[in-house]
Chain A
């Protein structure tokens, strides 16, 4: 099985307003897709529909060879939602407790966090260089530190597919570069497939193997090189802007 995600003829409406129209694409093992588009273009909605958080109006989604509505292998997917800013600042959870939630998808009833699990959590914290935050309350951390905690939670089951919704928003430039390097390593070494929603087309172009440009429907889906040579994208961004974006990649 080469296709991790197979989407065909997917549409979604909020009330009667079209948000996604006739979306079709495949994501293969090891693909690293930068999902870009303007605010309100449907990027987060597409991810939520793929994950079953929203019901599609029409179309089919196959995840790891199974129809989305029957899919239950959640430990294969690591997800980092966008709404980290909505985190309740007084929620009394330690970093260790938050990351432990990532392990639930691999557990059967009754779900228990064992000593072996705690070692896995320690390993994830070490890998991301945040071991000293283990006993801190999540609400006391900076936005950037919280982003790393949620990345650790998404990575903890060593998922085959990582879906990250604007993960680098709260990071400073050094941390952002480090963050992209970690994803790059996961993609290249472990063949982890990645979908990353971002506004930073230039930055993601350095790492992603494919770009998907969404504006209700898919306007472009292909390699970064093809993106740079696309007349359609030249018209959309303007030749100069496209040149600047593509130049960052050199």
Chain B
């Protein structure tokens, strides 16, 4: 007789249980484990460990290589995100004006984002090769010294940034195009009558404010994406030359899977997750409150 209300009360939990279990197993569980491991001295293969508190973090923040990878990651983000954003927005505006060719351009720009990263990076390696690559040929034409851009301390990280921009600009274009086509034509017509008929006045009065939410979304997404840079470093530079392309995720990988220092790798992961988590929180808070005006 009393079973029915109990069943009703339990039903929501039963229905959400599979998702909760999976989330716990593959998301929350591992994060908790990593967090815990970052406070221990456990290394892969060992049977015992002890709690060391903040020791791993202290080691990390006094390690020159880690600090270098932090700086490199930040520098990489600064190089890629604004450029991708600007090229994405300009590209989207141009494509929207292109009429019949619109779909073709959209597809062409989006292809790098859809392709397999490793395959494309191998192509890039060939393109950038100083003797047999396209870069070598161009350098020869202009009588330049065909330096190996990926083996040069000053050019390696900017080149990786360039590849990332090439790869992500199509993604930004698609999102911006969606945002731009959401602006009612009447806004521009009202603007034209109000006196905003130049390219800049139209952009500052109407376009830019009305796609602010898209811009912010793309900005966060690109930042998180840049934070996660790994494939290009692993395939093209392996962190070199002279640690010039050592980035957070690659350092984490080396610590965990080359040196088996799981505790240090865990601490780096926590630092990484904190950064990404902060961005996601900012996005959630800001996007809902400030940018969303309708």
Question: Is chain B a partner of chain A in the same complex?
Answer: no
Contacts from B to A (Cβ < 8 Å): none
